[in-house]
Chain A
Amino acid sequence: MKYLHLIRAALMRRKTRTVLTILSVLAAFLLFGLLDGVRVAFNSGGTLAGVDRLVVSSRFSIIQSLPESLVNRVAAVQGVRLVTWANWFGGYFREQKNQMIIFAIGPGYFDAYPDYGVTPAMAEALASTRSGVLVGKAVADRFGWKVGDKLPILGSIFPNKATGETTWTFDIVGIYQAPLAANRALEQQILLNWKYFDEANAYGGGQVGWIVVKVADPADSARVAQAIDALSANSDHETKTQTEQEFNLSFAKQIGDIGLIVTAIIGAVFFTLMLLTGNTMAQAVRERMPELATLKTIGFTDRQVLALVFGESVLLILIGGVFGLVLATLLMPIVTEASGGMIQMPPVGWRSWGIGIALMIAVGAIVGILPAWRAMRLRVVDALAGR
């Protein structure tokens, strides 16, 4: 610690350069903090224990549907309190850029998801209007929709059996508002009757996209999930019962191995960071050769000089890195809050902090090794003579 002021002095010798380097390190670790949570989320298996809501989908692909008959069999599994189901219905309003998140939902959906803030009257209106839809406030405000409006949606996949076209016209019977700010993302959705969707779409009926299960005892979730998957074992519709988080992630995973993509981005960022800071450190040490020679003249050993340069390099990265991770930690909940839950940024956990600190030390050591070695090997008489 008594050498800390020497290290600090070395860093402060060129303030602008040091500040710019710290900013680039900060940016790299900010990105790391933001992306590592995403990587962990996509690579984690999730745990069933303690979860009261489970999602049952095809074991092979989330786009493969399940027979409706499975719903009743799932409901009969011991420990299942409530069952409902849903189907994805892709489409857009007027222009392709207005893509909508539309789900066809089964009965009891709002009992499983009170998060939507749908009132019993709205649920009743939906149930009693065959072509009715409930629209989230956010999406309704965006397009100026109100209850009673006709809503033409151009479906992405499912053609309407009656017309043979993919244009569907729905009746807005309610506009819901999520009570919690964290659930505002739900207001981006449009919900229609599964029964209408099932009867009216040309691709055959009796299929559900996924089944939502509420368990009686969250501590019993793992056993319930196992029992549900056992129902369809060795059939043509084997199921995978998982947490909601896993199910949502599997949607995003359709575009590729997100974990790998994120890891590759982080890798590229750190490679660039090492080139940048490595060059800065080399330049900083080259400029200070006479000063390092003076320290050696005074009696600092080769190893002490090596440690000073190493310390300088690691401290430089640690300062920028810690600020970057602190900023990421502060930004995560703000982004989640600001997006109304649309962008769910996982908090920067202790694991990310641990990896981050280890990375800072590793990057500091790697970028410091060559300048430190050069400083250690410095011949005092040559450096003092300006050679």
Chain B
Amino acid sequence: MSALVEIRDVSKAYVRGRQTVEVLHHITLDIRKGDFLALMGPSGSGKTTLLNLIGGLDSPSSGSISVDGTRIDQLGGTALAKWRAAHVGFIFQFYNLLPILTAQKNVEVPLLLTKLSAAQRRQNAKIALQLVNLADRASHKPGELSGGQQQRVAIARAIISDPTLLVCDEPTGDLDRQSAEEVLNLLQVLNREQGKTIIMVTHDPKAADHASHTLHLEKGSLVESLP
């Protein structure tokens, strides 16, 4: 299978005050289409930084990143935002839902960036919520849902634009074991049945077990490569 994500000699450094901190060192990596990759490593190893670079939330200091043939490291702010809207779904540890909107409205948010009518947006959001088994909670606000349910709403929001890539940063980090299992099973279904390519940062080896591959990062470098 061809590589969806091609990372070539990527380094990332941040300037903090007078200090420059290099977080990633010359990373080269290919992630195949349809892969479910777990990124593991200790805190500060650069997992989230690498995830942010792949998701187009940040730009590398050097090197190149291509996703499905697009050099995202060369895109400007607006083009990168539009690319994210079309190609990437994000799932965060703390769900990052808009607290005042209902589950249905939260799921609809990415569709505001499309030309779909309000009725189509509603319809699509309903389908996405059905997919994560939360159709009956459509009118509930995040505060009225459990952590696991909120994360499933976040997953519905992430997949509603039918992105190629799902980027998950500790998606089970704030959940109990049962809810975590539900969320991970859902991600597996999306990977296996809908062909979504998933990159997941996690500290949890049990979560990583749900992925098809696992990579370890230490001090900004990959300690192994994918088969």
A residues whose Cβ falls under 8 Å from a Cβ of B: 2-3, 5-6, 9-10, 12-13, 290-291, 293-303, 380-381, 384-385
Given A9-B101, A299-B113, 19 extra CB contacts under 8 A? A2-B118, A3-B112, A6-B112, A9-B98, A9-B100, A9-B105, A293-B96, A294-B92, A294-B98, A296-B81, A297-B55, A299-B86, A300-B113, A301-B78, A301-B81, A302-B77, A381-B57, A384-B92, A385-B48
Check B99–A13 contact: CB distance below 8 A: yes
Check B100–A299 contact: CB distance below 8 A: no
Check A299–B110 contact: CB distance below 8 A: yes
The answer to the question of B84 belonging to the interface, with a C-beta cut-off of 8 Å to chain A, is yes
B residues whose Cβ falls under 8 Å from a Cβ of A: 48, 52, 55, 57-58, 77-78, 81-82, 84-86, 90, 92, 96, 98-101, 105, 109-110, 112-113, 118, 157
Residues of A within 8 A of B90 (CB): 297-298
- Tell me if B's interface is mostly helix, strand, loop or mixed: helix
Check B110–A298 contact: CB distance below 8 A: yes
A9 to B101, CA, bound (A): 7
Residues of B within 8 A of A303 (CB): 78
Check A298–B98 contact: CB distance below 8 A: no
Residues of B within 8 A of A12 (CB): 100
Residues of A within 8 A of B78 (CB): 301-303
16 contacts between A and B (CB under 8 A): A2-B112, A2-B118, A10-B100, A12-B100, A297-B57, A297-B96, A298-B85, A298-B110, A299-B86, A299-B110, A299-B113, A301-B78, A301-B81, A380-B57, A380-B58, A384-B57
A-B contact number at CB 8 A:
66
Contact A381 to B96, CB < 8 A, known contacts A2-B118, A9-B101, A298-B90: no
Q: Which of the listed residues A293, A296, A299 has the most CB atoms from chain B within 10 Å of its own CB?
A: A299
Residues of B within 8 A of A300 (CB): 81, 85, 113
Residues of A within 8 A of B57 (CB): 297, 380-381, 384
B127 to chain A minimum Cβ distance, whole angstroms, is 18
Closest to B111 in A: A2
Residues of A within 8 A of B110 (CB): 298-299
Residues of A within 8 A of B48 (CB): 385
A353 to B221, CA, bound (A): 64
Residues of B within 8 A of A384 (CB): 57, 92, 96
